[in-house]
Amino acid sequence: MIHHIPNVLSKAQVQQFRQVMDQVDWVNGKVTAGTLSATVKHNQQLPEDHPLTHELSNIILEALGKHELFLSAAIPLDIIPPLFNRYQASEAFGMHVDNAIRRIRGSNQRLRTDLSCTLFLSEPDEYEGGELVIEDTYGYHDVKLPAGDLLLYPATSLHEVTAISSGCRVASFFWVQSMIRDNADRHMLFNLDQSIQKLRMELGDTHAQVIQLTNMYHNLIRKWAEL
């Protein structure tokens, strides 16, 4: 399932990100691409080992750790630290699939990429083209979100970023290993959790239905979680 996660970063945070990012020299985006995706990847990235990349990544990770909708949808076990890319005139990233396993920078730890994330750092009216296109069972979805919003989608999906015809598209991208490996199981838990939250607001935390459904949710987590 594709999830739109709003307001991961505030507009003020996005503005601050953009100001400091403009002061750094960007590198060819192929440096983090796999063998096949490198042939269709044409963009720029902040250097993976630059102190600013670490600083901004930590801000995003802290924000995600407090974002209830993200936590409900992703059920994260671990997150590969965010990276940052930029697309300008004619740059694009053709149709590809993300690597199944990725290494956490600066370590030998590897994570399974269950979910892909794009956090938009440019407003939609700042650029033409540059849509994130995701293929799923129901066809193709063109996505261009407000700055500060995040798109969360299965890493198994084929996807692309269409060519920029004008302006500049800046984003952060990263991957999540979920405690729940299976997409269908994770989606079921998300729907159950959202229903529980609505019932809590309507009936209160001590209502018998709320307690019963919460018990079911946690027992399913126990059944499916991989730690």
Residue 125 is labelled as binding a ligand: no
- Detail the DSSP E strand segments found in the chain: 3-5, 27-28, 41-42, 44-45, 76-79, 83-87, 92-96, 101-103, 110-112, 115-120, 127-129, 132-136, 139-143, 150-154, 159-161, 164-167, 169-178
Can you say how many angstroms the Cα of residue 18 is from the centroid of all Cα atoms in its chain? 18
- For residue 177, the cross-strand partners are 78
Quick one: 115 exposed, middle or buried, by C-beta within 10 A (0-12, 13-18, 19+)? buried
Instruction: Report whether 216 contacts 192 (CB < 8 A).
Output: yes
Residue 169 is labelled as binding a ligand: yes
Residue 3 is labelled as binding a ligand: no
Residue 159 is labelled as binding a ligand: yes
As annotated, the binding site includes 96, 98, 159, 169
As annotated, the binding site for 2-oxoglutarate includes 169
As annotated, the binding site for Fe cation includes 96, 98, 159
